[in-house]
Amino acid sequence: MTRRHGSRCWVTAALVTGVLLGSAPLMAQTQRLALSGSLKSVLLRSRTLTGENYALSLNRLRIEAKGDLAPGLALDLQYDNEVLLGSYLDTAEFRAAKDRVAAQYWHADANYLDRGNVYGRHRLYRAAVTLTRGNVDLKLGRQRIAWGTGRFWSPLDILNPVSPLALEREERVGVDAALVEAKLGPLSRASVVYAPAPERGSPSRALQWHGNAAGVDGSLLAGRLLGVDIVGIDIASQIGDAGVRGEVARLRRSAGPGFNRLLVGADYAFANRLTLSAELYYNGAGTRDPVGYDFAAWSAGRVSNLATRYAGLYASYEITPLLKWVNYAVVNADDRSRAIDSRLVWSWRSDLELTIGLQRFTGSAGSEYGRMPNASFAQLQWFY
């Protein structure tokens, strides 16, 4: 079934094509606007939460146009075209999710093929222009607004939250927004964001100030993001050769009491090519009793974590300059469930990368990670 806003995305696709073709003479004349992108294929074997075994092949072509359209006017346009194959398309989980409308103001995505074990869709992953005047930047469109310092979790990153166990960790859903940033000094800036909500919901708006004093980076944040009032701070600095960072936020939804979220983390790179990062996270919106877990909200993506206390560990080791072993481990300290993501990343060529990996989850039947299915995957990505 074609999504109801599919015609809009065909208009979007035509617009993207027009922009790319129209920018070709500009690139030829000035070389300021560059075309690039990637072709990625992911093979995944796992099962759904209801126990259906499946195989999935996700194939994505990404076309990127980035650079200056004119003095003081820059473009960031990234268009995705995806084809999905495999038995996952026959599962109830996929049938329930495929027509779910993205939680973005601009409906710039749609499927164009839905035929048995073949499913095609396309979208604008990023689409923003930046106008610069003096020390002030105005960025309009679909963009990544990266606030906070967390690698696994971030109390401040409400608009584009971190998912500690996402298969494609580098993929972040963008937000349709207006972002104004004013440089106040060499290491300080003030930012204001406004993001309209889909379906006439409450818009997101916030103010952030970032500065540096005595070698410590710090930010202050206040606003209302995705229906949540938030006031928070983050800091980052060095102790010897180790990086340390932290975030604390007070949040309150429209209905219900306020709650706190806190994060502390540390990073260290050893001379033997081993890199470690560790984080401790407190989620005041969660519960310490697994009986109270809201799995329906978790499955729908309305909440990212169900419990209150978590620990995360990242370890990366360069076996050779071209081969890296990367590991993510997460522990739910309330129900003692655990998750491990381990992968080998081989930079076969400067423009070609192969990744193979496993995700393993352990815990009791009612725990957060104990109910999640194990998975094995392989990924090949070509950059052009």
pLDDT tens digits for range 32-85 = 789 999 999 999 999 998 899 999 999 999 999 999 999 999 999 999 999 999
Q: In this structure, what token pair is assigned to residue 242?
A: 């180790």
Contact 328, 358 (CB under 8 A): no
User: How confident is the model over 310-337, as a mean pLDDT?
Assistant: 97
β-bridge pairing 33-47 and 375-383: antiparallel
pLDDT at 369 over 80: yes
Tell me how far apart the alpha carbons of residues 44 and 22 are, in angstroms, rounded to a whole number.
38
Tell me how far apart the alpha carbons of residues 305 and 105 are, in angstroms, rounded to a whole number.
24
The residue written with tokens 């580098």 in the block is: 170
The residue among 294, 353, 346, 302 whose CA lies nearest residue 324 is: 346
pLDDT at 10: 44
26-35, 147-156, 174-183, 326-335: lowest mean pLDDT where?
Answer: 26-35
How many residues are listed for the chain in this entry? 384
pLDDT at 2 over 60: no
154-158, 175-179, 198-202: lowest mean pLDDT where?
Answer: 198-202
User: How confident is the model over 238-242, as a mean pLDDT?
Assistant: 95
Tell me how far apart the alpha carbons of residues 264 and 259 are, in angstroms, rounded to a whole number.
17
Tell me how far apart the alpha carbons of residues 119 and 90 are, in angstroms, rounded to a whole number.
11
- The amino acid that residue 133 corresponds to is R
Helix, strand, coil % (nearest 5) of the chain? 10, 55, 30
Contact 71, 100 (CB under 8 A): no
Cα–Cα distances in angstroms (integers) from residue 181 to residues 190, 233, 327, in the given order: 6, 18, 35
Cα–Cα distances in angstroms (integers) from residue 310 to residues 121, 212, 262, 284, 315, in the given order: 36, 29, 11, 11, 17
pLDDT at 104: 87
Contact 307, 335 (CB under 8 A): yes
Q: How many CA atoms lie within 13 A of 186 on its CB side?
A: 1
- Number of Cβ within a 10 Å radius of residue 245: 20
The residue written with tokens 């027009």 in the block is: 18
Which of 145-175 are b and which e, b meaning 16 or more Cβ less than 10 Å from the residue's Cβ? bebbbbbbbbbbbbbbbbbbbebeeeebebb
pLDDT at 58: 98
Q: What is the dihedral sign for C-alpha 38, 41, 46, 51?
A: positive
Cα–Cα distances in angstroms (integers) from residue 5 to residues 34, 156, 173, in the given order: 30, 32, 19
The residue among 222, 214, 213, 209 whose CA lies nearest residue 249 is: 222
Beta-carbon contacts of 174 under 8 Å, excluding residues fewer than 6 positions away, are 104, 125, 126, 142, 143, 144, 160
Residues 337-362 pLDDT 10s = 999 999 999 999 999 999 999 999 99
